[in-house]
A and B are shown apart, each in its own frame.
Chain A
Amino acid sequence: MSDVTAASPPPARPEFERPVTAPIGLGDVARPLSLGERLSGNATLRRALILIGIAIVWELYARFLDNPLTFPTFLETLAALRDGILSGVIPLRLAVTLETLVIGYAIGLAVAALLTTIAVTTRLGTDLLSTFTAMFNPLPAIALLPLALLWFGLGRPSLIFVIVHSVLWAVALNMHSGFLAVSQTLRMAGRTFGLSGLRLVFGILIPAAFPAILAGLKIGWAFAWRTLIAAELVFGVSSGQGGLG
């Protein structure tokens, strides 16, 4: 503190110029990592170890309980899965479930893309989309199942309806906020190239908003699974073409 407040001027120093030399003898520029360092840096390996740990704990605890009805051991569960696959029951059900899932997901995405396109091109569309997402996004799709059963009867159409509902709003919301986040400069640059309307959407907006769109697709996929599993739990078996649930 005292040397800062001291008012004496800095000492007089001579000026100099010197040529710049190449840096030599700085030591290692790059060194290969040891095997241990590389293995501990591998995320897949670390996660596999966690899974193996869980399986061991599961097996030990189930053996300790010794009650196959409420808590079968890990090995027994694996064997049941193998039998199910070999007998052809699980692949069949899986196919039914996946088909329903993919149909619902695809319809949801198509409608979301349509709504978002309208929303980015017109102001009325923006208002419509934000009102709809505010109303329907918080509504759990499974709560619509009773209504869907009344409208479409027991069977696949009802399942698809609830899946579309669960996918649509989450994806549309993400896509739209992704489009809104595209910088004004980039839009203007696109327009000086002579792009407008759909060409601007496909040439500039969709690629620029792609990270947000991808996030929306992932969320939509997860929502579709959840809804499907819940819906199949309720009436999957009774509808006659039972899926996994």
Chain B
Amino acid sequence: MSDAQAMIDAVTPAPESPLLRVDGVTLQYKTPEHLVTATYRVSVDIHRTDRLVLLGPSGCGKSTLLKAIAGFLRPVEGTITLKGHPVTGPGPDRMMVFQEFDQLLPWKTVAGNVAYPMTVNGVPTAEAMARAREAIAKVNLTPFVDAYPHMLSGGMKQRVAIARAMAMRPDVLLMDEPYAALDALTRRKMQDELLQLWQEIRFTLVFVTHAIEEAVVIGSRIVVLSPHPGQVRAELNSTLGQSDREGAQFQRLTARISHMLFDGEAAAHEPGPPARDASAGRR
């Protein structure tokens, strides 16, 4: 509980100014043949304890935007500032959870993986191990502290990655489609666990996804991006959770978002889970 308290203490000052500000950011990257503009003049404010979801179809630059926030990519135009300081490179104040399972260090145990970023940043080993165990307990992996990543399932690996990021107590937790490679049942469970963790610690989250339902469940604020190049189409609030999935409000919000994403053209053919659920409803 001590780190939960520390997070809350860190949260209190200056509630009105955004923690992370993305201001008029244009991002470009080079492929062997093209210079691709991923986002065009995107502005987003992220406040403390926000669960901000970047939602959009592939090609809307949401992952690229997240990488820029992480510091892997410099904006061509505009600025990204964290607590008033411009972001110049990757750092442990913006820990990131990736989609790929190979983000864990295969030569370290679960505890070793979670403790490593802390020891690298000068936390004494004993304290790092204690914080690692605490974070591992929070993601319900205590029986596996001494296991190696190759012995874990995909969902467990993602939990370790989340524990590793949370133990570092970053200003913002960045998640790049962390559940996209999981099966539907595990994904749903992981979403619940993430929300429960947020209830406990109230961290600040930036979450990238292309699944509308996931965005509505996870996000408190949803930024809808349009593709080629990515521009902010809308910012919406969501107070809905997993238990509201069947409700009319949930259906209305997802329908509204899919309408935005597909610009009216055949919103019914939306490839996400709701469409599949409807077609699976044959007796």
Contact = CB atoms under 8 A, between A and B. Distances in A.
Interface of A: 183, 185-186, 188-189, 191-196, 199, 203-204, 207-208, 210
B102 A191 contact: no
Contacts of A185: 98, 100, 102-103
Contacts of A188: 70, 72, 90, 96, 98, 103
A192 B102 contact: no
A77 B251 CA distance: 88
B105 interface: yes
Contacts of A203: 120
Contacts of B103: 185-186, 188-189
Contact of B117 (A186, A193, A196, A210): A193
Given A191-B90, A196-B89, 17 more contacts: A185-B98, A185-B103, A186-B103, A188-B103, A189-B103, A191-B89, A192-B90, A192-B92, A192-B95, A192-B96, A193-B116, A194-B90, A194-B92, A194-B121, A203-B120, A208-B107, A210-B107
A207 B90 contact: no
Interface of B: 70, 72, 89-92, 94-96, 98, 100, 102-107, 116-117, 120-121
B179 to A, nearest CB: 16
B175 to A, nearest CB: 12
A196 B94 CA distance: 16
A194 B96 contact: no
Contacts, number: 53
A99 to B, nearest CB: 34
Contacts of B96: 188-189, 192
B106 A191 contact: no
Contacts of B106: 208
A157 to B, nearest CB: 39
Contacts of B104: 189
A199 B122 CA distance: 13
Contacts of B89: 191, 196
21 contacts: A183-B102, A185-B102, A186-B102, A186-B105, A188-B70, A188-B96, A188-B103, A189-B98, A191-B72, A192-B90, A192-B92, A192-B94, A192-B96, A193-B121, A194-B120, A194-B121, A199-B120, A204-B105, A207-B107, A208-B106, A208-B107
A196 B92 CA distance: 12
